[in-house]
Copies of this chain bind each other. A is one copy, B any other.
């Protein structure tokens, strides 16, 4: 096995810790650690503290399970958002991505995972029951599925759809189609096929 010859155990330990991070190899780990050597004690302390503070302080919103500094996240507690539209996503990264679009003004429900029998993740391992409870209590107008178009994403959407089908709620899913800027000839057949089947009325400045 490849083993670096560091002349400092402290350096070696720090590099090992960095190399545990996903997508960070030994070389990058060394580069990052050497970068910290050049920074001031205060900066290194600030970096470490931000991580520890986050780990200690961060909560998950009691309503939508989104990441939050408070019991109820600032999306769920915002009276300007439409609390009758719930967008179902897999994880908090999806919330961030959707929030960045500034095109959605409802609220979220973060499942915290996706049904995946191969990985041993069943419906009870993710926040599906919590979603059903929310629907029972608050009677939303619309549920939007914004899950990935994988086998697991489709399974999860379908499972939830079946569970809530008797509540008489409008259920939608985000539009799939050719991405803006993408060329038709390089778009995969399933996407292109669906985008022609699900074509929409042409609008100027759409």
- A residues near B (Cβ < 8 Å) are 2, 4-11, 13-14, 16-17, 20-24, 28, 30-37, 41, 44-58, 61, 66-69, 73-75, 92-93, 95-96, 99-100
Contacts and interface: CB of A to CB of B under 8 A. Distances in A.
Contacts of A10: 50, 53-54, 57-58, 69
Copies of this chain in the oligomer: 2
5 contacts: A7-B75, A7-B99, A10-B58, A23-B31, A44-B51
Nearest to A76: B7
A2 B96 CA distance: 13
A49 B5 CA distance: 22
B8 A69 contact: yes
A17 B99 contact: no
Given A10-B57, A14-B53, A30-B93, 4 more contacts: A4-B100, A5-B100, A37-B58, A37-B67
Contacts of A5: 96, 99-100
